[in-house]
Amino acid sequence: MLDIKFVRENPEKVKENIKKKFQDEKLPLVDEVIELDEKTRKLKLEGDNLRSERNNISNSIGALMREKKIDEANAMKDRVKEINEKLTSLEKEEEELSNEVKKRMMVIPNIIDDSVPIGKDDTENVEVEKFGDPVVPKYEIPYHADIIDRFNGLDKEAAGRTSGEGFYYLMGDIARLHEAMIAYAKDFMIDKGFTYAIPPFMIHAAVVEGVMSFPEMQAMMYKIEGEDLYLIGTSEHSMIGKFKDQIIKTSELPITMTSYSPCFRKEGGSHGLEERGLYRVHQFEKQEMIVICNPEDSMAWYEKMWRFTVEVFRNLDIPVRQLECCSGDLADLKVKSCDIEAWSPRQQKYFEVGSCSTLGDAQARRLGIRAKGEDGTYYVHTLNNTVLASPRGLIALIENNYQEDGSIKVPKVLQPYMGGKEKILPLK
């Protein structure tokens, strides 16, 4: 959410930013916000003047009573009553207008960074850099579900009986490989100096609304019936929510945390769920990272964070690339974002395995997260990045480490988590 003062002083810049995001239907909101804000401020000024008058009158009443000027004192009391009635009406109107301002401000997109490429949707995202050579072996790479089936590693039929479409059982060496990746990603981030955390897997609506836009929430998150709770779609939400309404000492910044969680998503819409495979599912596991920092440090952290993900995947012998998200592909709260995509030797193309974003002070404003320094309090900047999410990461690992004899090579960094195994062998 933008600073109302910024909108008031820079309406054309805000409108230009809306156009860059191809959301022209939101342009009228800027003028509406400015008009409603002006009315709100006038009401506030009128209310402040009335409160000042009431205080002066209240002081006078005591003096008049002491001087036995009863009639004058009673007239003053009548005026105080009038003021109180007027203030009740003004405060109600001011609250209603303030809510209308907030309602509109919540859907005006954040100001994107000047470096963000302009484009309508994800088809116009820009490849920035590749890491590792994308190899296509001479032998065939089967579909990942077929590879896993040879290890007796996947049971979606049983999951359909227990939970329905979009869920799965991972079994045996495949399940172990999956957990080895998550454990390695956790230890990798701890070695980078991040504090490890396991957060709540459900959060209140106020936290959800603080970390993402309402349309995103509706499309992604599962609501717990009869409770003010949502299942998390990613642990960054509860991690950022940890600091809701807190004032952080500047000396404690930056706060760098890495978190493990299961994640739950509706995965509705035109893309749907993947019937046989594991690319789009309702439940997955993820190692995440967040940073809370001073505004001047956020872009430096952004560059560090996505490179951590690249390093993880390269250590797993998986070629990746960084893809800069264009303006039309950025969620409303984001200032700048990029995707990390892994190479698929079977499809001979890259697919998304993680994303890194800086959100400026948008989440901090919504959640009331501030820092206190020598010059007073200010809103912090928040960033998040996927270290590793699986089963997507598992798919990339399997395809890039699949051998001609049907075995899967275990990358060196995962071997300690796999009992020293250098490869796993199919059972059929």
Give 393-426 as a DSSP string. Answer: HHHHHHHHTB-TTS-EEPPGGGGGGGTT-SEE--
- Topology of the domain covering 122-424: BirA Bifunctional Protein; domain 2 (3.30.930)
> Which pLDDT score is estimated for 71?
80
> Which pLDDT score is estimated for 69?
81
β 222-223/349-358 pair status: unpaired
* Cα separation, 348 vs 306, whole angstroms: 23
User: Which residues of the chain have a pLDDT value below 50?
Assistant: 270
Instruction: Strands of 132-200 (E only): list them.
Output: 154-155, 169-170, 195-197
323 forms beta bridges with 127, 339
Tell me 139's DSSP state: S
Question: What is residue 347's three-state secondary structure?
Answer: coil
Largest Cα–Cα distance of the chain, in whole Å?
107
Q: Which residues contact 334 (CB under 8 A, 6 or more apart)?
A: 110, 112, 325, 357, 358, 359, 362
Quick check: 164 and 266 in contact, CB under 8 A? no
Domain 4-105 belongs in CATH node 1.10.274.10: no
Tell me 295's DSSP state: G
In the chain, what are the helix, strand and coil shares in percent, each to the nearest 5? 45, 20, 30
Question: What pTM, to 2 d.p., does this model score?
Answer: 0.90
Domain boundaries, the chain: 4-105, 122-424
Q: Output the CA angle 244-301-9, nearest 5 degrees.
A: 65
* Cα separation, 98 vs 19, whole angstroms: 26
> Which pLDDT score is estimated for 270?
45
